[in-house]
Amino acid sequence: MKKIERVKERRGRMITVAVALIIEEGRILIGKRKDGDLAGKWEFPGGKVEENETPAIALIREVKEELEVEIDYFAFFHESTYEYDFGEVHLQFFKVNTNRTAEKSNVHAEIQWVDLQELQQVDLLPADREVVEKLLEE
């Protein structure tokens, strides 16, 4: 199947994504995408909620798969919906504490710990921008 056909097929679908906001000492973890149309953009760790999976379970699974750390605590923080060319993405953001500091990612080209006040200058995915304002309001 050609890429254009796949995009048309998926258009109109909504994907739910669980997103981890991992904050340590005033800095938040972000990862640089290495593949796809949005390669080079920065994002928060997380991923798609699979069929028969809750956002909380997806969050725990994705953080472990991507960062090789365990979640000690998480709390729902914010949700939003963003429309991309391929369809809508419903994001559920969770504030997360982990058992140790993440030092690498299995899915990103690189990761960085960024000062919360500097997040507005980062080339984040469009869907992640709204939550930055919420974080800075706290």
User: Which residues does residue 60 pair with via DSSP β-bridges, in sequence order?
Assistant: none
Alpha carbons 57 and 103: distance in angstroms, whole number: 22
**Distance of alpha carbon 49 from its chain centroid, rounded?**
12
Range of the structural domain that residue 20 is part of: 3-137
Q: With H, G, I as helix, E, B as strand and everything else as coil, classify residue 22.
A: strand
Number of domains forming the structure of the chain? 1
pLDDT at position 3 is: 37
**Ramachandran class of 118: left when φ > 0, alpha when ψ lies in -120 to 50, beta otherwise:** alpha
CB atoms within 10 A of CB 20: 26
**Distance of alpha carbon 130 from its chain centroid, rounded?**
12
Helix runs in 48-117, H state only: 55-67
Alpha carbons 52 and 87: distance in angstroms, whole number: 21
CATH number of the domain to which 91 belongs: 3.90.79.10
| pTM: predicted TM-score of the whole model, two decimal places | 0.87
Alpha carbons 62 and 45: distance in angstroms, whole number: 8
pLDDT at position 4 is: 37
pLDDT at position 34 is: 92
pLDDT at position 6 is: 40
Those residues of the chain that have pLDDT short of 70 are 1-12
Of 15, 20, 2, which Cα lies nearest the Cα of 85? 15
